């Protein structure tokens, strides 16, 4: 019995597979020939030409009241109600007259903040992905389950008339906030469902006065919660996985009046070059019920994690229960420490710095890291990347909405905020070397156990953030980056250059009160 089935608007459904168990989903995946089974029993699928999200194909229906709140632009693109209706009808027609999988799940471990989401798809592995990534309701909860939001995943449906419709491609990922519906067409990539609901949580929660965050979180034996913000490649997953602390979650969290909570019931980890020595928890989580995406395996099903021939973005989704050292209810107290991770490939920023509240707002709104552009013919310059709130691609509201909420919570709960650079030292990329994980972990441990507070700090000029003069276990010359550089003139040049980039990027906030206020906390030339 599927609650509210008549509201789905699908006709002539041949068979509904509703909330199948892992074993049942596995049988369907094998029977439907949706992929292969690896040598250790993990199901492996290919997502076709779409091995990542399609951000240029993401739209919100422009209508009242949501259009007043959405920050329209390159990330949140408008689509008319008429065009939505046309594509919604097309997607429903694709899903009708067929067998469908319906998976019901919660997004949010906090009962007062969670949302009930229903996913409708024609592909068993996509139902499996949802079961892994979202919170699995109990039998009793499923009996009473009424969806607040429905995702129609019609991945087999494409919009051939996209040019006439003035859209980007035949793929579409559309959110209709007023009707509580999302429609996905033309892409098989599982991450669209995960990040689609994350975008919706980033719309709903702030309007309820709650903060939604793109971060990982863990908790110590004394109940002290830590949040780790950072863009891709900064070490968010690796550094929040710590044998001395329980994992709350690795990617998406909310912060309400009761504390911090995971949005998800699973993890979606990168697999490229996965090594059991450096990431034993993730490696051990890849077993039956996990789902591997776009990996390469030999004829016996042995996976070669170093092979990125399909994509560098190879992934595995698994239920969080596959991680032994986790917080059972996926919730934590109000944070004691917040860490902003950046991988500065210019080698300018210090390995650790203490931020005051205004600086925390500035670096949160900047969301800086530097990506290393690897090309076949050798290396090009690192690219400075700024992504507001360390997750701009998923923010429907103006970034300052999230910053304001974070600032209020930092104040109220007296949270310490630090900037940690996991990038280069002693020279820029290609000259210096990557900060060792050992040195970074030492900095993070000093933050988490409070021993960093015993350090004597000095000002890191131009940026005017505080850096420790000495820190037990970290080479002193690394703490103030200039001391680790042989070419001091080049360092000064790059430092000035990076400061200018920060200032230039922050000009985007010139038209809002917070932007003017927090600009003062940035670099000062």
Q: Check if 324 is active-site.
A: no
Show which of 207, 234, 255 is a domain's final residue: 207
Q: Could you say which of 28, 42, 51, 53 is catalytic?
A: 53
Show which of 276, 301, 322 is a domain's final residue: 322
State the CB neighbour count (10 A cutoff) for residue 5.
13
Question: How far is Cα 65 from Cα 177, in angstroms, rounded to an integer?
Answer: 9
**Could you tell me the CATH number of the domain that includes residue 79?**
3.40.449.10
Q: Are 295 and 429 in the same domain?
A: no
End-to-end CA gap in the chain: 66
- Residue 83 is assigned to a structural domain of this protein: yes
**Model pLDDT, residue 1:** 60
Looking up tokens 């809002």 gives 512
The response to whether 234 counts as a known ligand-binding position is yes
Question: How far is Cα 446 from Cα 109, in angstroms, rounded to an integer?
Answer: 29
Question: How far is Cα 175 from Cα 213, in angstroms, rounded to an integer?
Answer: 20
- Residue 167 is assigned to a structural domain of this protein: yes
CB 248 within 8 A of CB 225: yes
The response to whether 110 counts as a known ligand-binding position is no
- Residue 314 is assigned to a structural domain of this protein: yes
pLDDT in tens, 192-204: 999 999 999 999 9
Q: Please determine, for residue 306, whether its predicted confidence score (pLDDT) is greater than 70.
A: yes
Q: Are 343 and 457 in the same domain?
A: yes
The pair of three-digit structure tokens given for residue 276, joined into one six-digit string:
């059991």
Q: Could you say which of 315, 336, 354, 495 is catalytic?
A: 315
Which residues, at least 6 apart from 192, have a Cβ–Cβ distance to it below 8 Å? 53, 54, 153, 173, 184
CB 278 within 8 A of CB 32: no
Q: Are 348 and 288 in the same domain?
A: no
Question: How far is Cα 495 from Cα 107, in angstroms, rounded to an integer?
Answer: 42
The response to whether 440 counts as a known ligand-binding position is yes
**Could you tell me the CATH number of the domain that includes residue 292?**
2.170.8.10
Q: Are 63 and 201 in the same domain?
A: yes
Q: Are 382 and 514 in the same domain?
A: yes
pLDDT in tens, 12-70: 999 999 999 999 999 999 999 999 999 999 999 999 999 889 999 999 999 999 999 99
Q: Are 21 and 109 in the same domain?
A: yes
Q: Check if 236 is active-site.
A: yes
Q: Are 362 and 292 in the same domain?
A: no
Q: Check if 53 is active-site.
A: yes
Q: Please determine, for residue 374, whether its predicted confidence score (pLDDT) is greater than 60.
A: no
pLDDT in tens, 429-445: 989 999 998 999 999 99
Q: Are 143 and 165 in the same domain?
A: yes
Q: Could you say which of 54, 187, 225, 237 is catalytic?
A: 237
Going by C-alpha positions, the residue among 165, 19, 29, 24 that lies closest to residue 90 is 165
State the CB neighbour count (10 A cutoff) for residue 144.
9
Q: Check if 232 is active-site.
A: yes
Name the phi and psi angles at 364, rounded to 5. Answer: -70, -45
Q: Could you say which of 236, 322, 326, 495 is catalytic?
A: 236
- Residue 461 is assigned to a structural domain of this protein: yes
The predicted model gives 272-284 an average pLDDT of 91
The total number of structural domains that make up the chain: 3
Per residue, the 3-state secondary structure of 113-128, as one string, reads CCEEEEEEECCHHHHH
Question: How far is Cα 243 from Cα 439, in angstroms, rounded to an integer?
Answer: 17
Q: Are 95 and 30 in the same domain?
A: yes
Helix, coil or strand: residue 185: strand
Determine the structural domain holding residue 281 and report its residue range: 267-322
The response to whether 232 counts as a known ligand-binding position is yes
The response to whether 433 counts as a known ligand-binding position is no
Going by C-alpha positions, the residue among 444, 468, 461, 456 that lies closest to residue 354 is 468
Q: Check if 77 is active-site.
A: no
Q: Check if 366 is active-site.
A: no
Q: How many helices (H) and strands (E) does the chain have?
A: 14, 32
SS3 content of the chain, % helix, strand, coil (to 5): 30, 25, 40
The pair of three-digit structure tokens given for residue 271, joined into one six-digit string:
């697999």
Q: Are 363 and 316 in the same domain?
A: no
Q: Could you say which of 57, 242, 251, 344 is catalytic?
A: 251
- Residue 312 is assigned to a structural domain of this protein: yes
Q: Are 369 and 508 in the same domain?
A: yes
The response to whether 233 counts as a known ligand-binding position is yes
The response to whether 438 counts as a known ligand-binding position is no
The response to whether 235 counts as a known ligand-binding position is yes
- Residue 132 is assigned to a structural domain of this protein: yes
Q: Check if 195 is active-site.
A: yes
The string over 63-77, giving b where at least 16 C-beta atoms fall within 10 Å of a residue's C-beta and e elsewhere, is eeebeeebeeeebbb
Q: How many residues are recorded in the chain? A: 525
**Could you tell me the CATH number of the domain that includes residue 361?**
3.90.228.20
pLDDT in tens, 229-267: 999 888 888 899 888 999 999 999 999 999 999 999 999
The response to whether 236 counts as a known ligand-binding position is yes
pTM over 0.75: yes
The pair of three-digit structure tokens given for residue 422, joined into one six-digit string:
């996991």
CB 342 within 8 A of CB 440: no
Q: Check if 214 is active-site.
A: yes
**Model pLDDT, residue 373:** 55
Q: Could you say which of 90, 136, 214, 327 is catalytic?
A: 214
Looking up tokens 């990027």 gives 505
Q: Are 172 and 28 in the same domain?
A: yes
- Residue 254 is assigned to a structural domain of this protein: no
Q: Please determine, for residue 377, whether its predicted confidence score (pLDDT) is greater than 80.
A: no
- Residue 214 is assigned to a structural domain of this protein: no
The predicted model gives 501-521 an average pLDDT of 94
The response to whether 47 counts as a known ligand-binding position is no
Q: Could you say which of 92, 118, 194, 195 is catalytic?
A: 195
Question: How far is Cα 450 from Cα 222, in angstroms, rounded to an integer?
Answer: 12
Distances (CA, A) of 155 to 17, 81, 92, 150, 190: 18, 21, 11, 15, 10
Split at pLDDT 50, 70, 90, the class of 96 is very high
CB 172 within 8 A of CB 185: yes
**Model pLDDT, residue 382:** 83
Q: Could you say which of 80, 96, 169, 232 is catalytic?
A: 232
Give the angle subtended at the CA of 406 by the CAs of 400 and 409, to the nearest 5°. 145
């Amino acid at each position: 019995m599927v609650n509210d089935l008549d509201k789905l608007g699908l006709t002539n459904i041949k068979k509904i597979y509703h909330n199948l168990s892992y074993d049942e989903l596995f049988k369907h995946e094998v029977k439907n020939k949706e992929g292969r089974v690896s040598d250790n029993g993990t199901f492996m699928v290919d997502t076709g030409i779409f091995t990542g999200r399609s951000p240029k194909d993401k739209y919100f229906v422009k209508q009242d009241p949501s259009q007043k709140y959405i920050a329209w632009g390159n990330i949140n693109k408008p689509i008319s109600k008429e065009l939505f209706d046309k594509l919604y009808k097309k997607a429903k027609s694709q899903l009708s007259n067929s067998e469908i999988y319906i998976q019901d799940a919660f997004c949010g471990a906090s009962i007062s903040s969670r949302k009930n989401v229903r996913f409708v798809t024609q592909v068993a592995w996509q139902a499996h992905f949802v079961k892994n990534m979202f919170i699995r309701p109990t039998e009793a909860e499923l009996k009473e389950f009424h969806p607040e939001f429905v995702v129609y995943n019609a991945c087999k449906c494409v919009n051939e008339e996209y040019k006439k419709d003035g859209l980007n491609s035949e793929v579409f990922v559309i959110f209709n906030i007023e009707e509580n519906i999302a429609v996905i067409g033309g892409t098989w990539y599982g991450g669209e469902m995960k990040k689609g609901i994350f975008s919706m949580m980033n719309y709903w929660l702030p309007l309820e006065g709650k903060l939604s965050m793109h971060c990982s979180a863990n908790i110590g034996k004394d109940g002290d919660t830590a949040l780790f913000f950072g863009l891709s490649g900064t070490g968010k997953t690796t550094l929040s996985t710590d044998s001395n602390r329980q994992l709350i979650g690795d990617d998406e969290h909310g912060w309400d009046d009761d504390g911090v909570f995971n949005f998800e019931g699973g993890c979606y980890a990168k697999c490229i070059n996965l090594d059991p020595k450096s990431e034993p928890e993730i490696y051990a989580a890849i077993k039956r019920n996990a789902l591997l995406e776009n990996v390469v395996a030999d004829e016996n099903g042995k996976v070669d994690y170093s092979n990125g021939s399909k994509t560098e973005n190879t992934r595995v989704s698994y239920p969080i229960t596959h991680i032994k050292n986790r917080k059972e209810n996926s919730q934590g107290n109000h944070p004691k420490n917040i860490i902003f991770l950046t991988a500065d490939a210019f080698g300018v920023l210090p390995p650790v710095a203490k931020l005051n509240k205004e600086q925390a707002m500035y670096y949160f709104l900047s969301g800086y890291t530097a990506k290393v552009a690897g090309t076949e013919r050798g290396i090009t310059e690192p690219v400075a990347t700024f992504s507001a709130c360390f997750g701009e691609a998923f923010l429907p509201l103006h970034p300052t909405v999230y910053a304001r909420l974070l600032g209020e919570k930092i104040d109220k709960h007296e949270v310490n905020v630090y900037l940690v650079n996991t990038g280069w030292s002693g020279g820029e990329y290609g000259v210096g070397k990557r900060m060792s994980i050992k040195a970074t972990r030492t900095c993070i441990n000093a933050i988490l156990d409070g021993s960093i507070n015993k350090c004597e700090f000095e000002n890191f000029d131009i940026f005017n953030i505080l850096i420790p003069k000495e820190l037990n276990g970290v080479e002193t010359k690394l703490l103030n980056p200039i001391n680790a550089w042989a070419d001091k003139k080049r360092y000064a040049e790059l430092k000035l250059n990076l400061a200018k980039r920060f200032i230039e990027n922050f000009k985007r906030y010139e038209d809002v009160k917070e932007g003017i206020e927090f600009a003062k906390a940035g670099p000062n030339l």
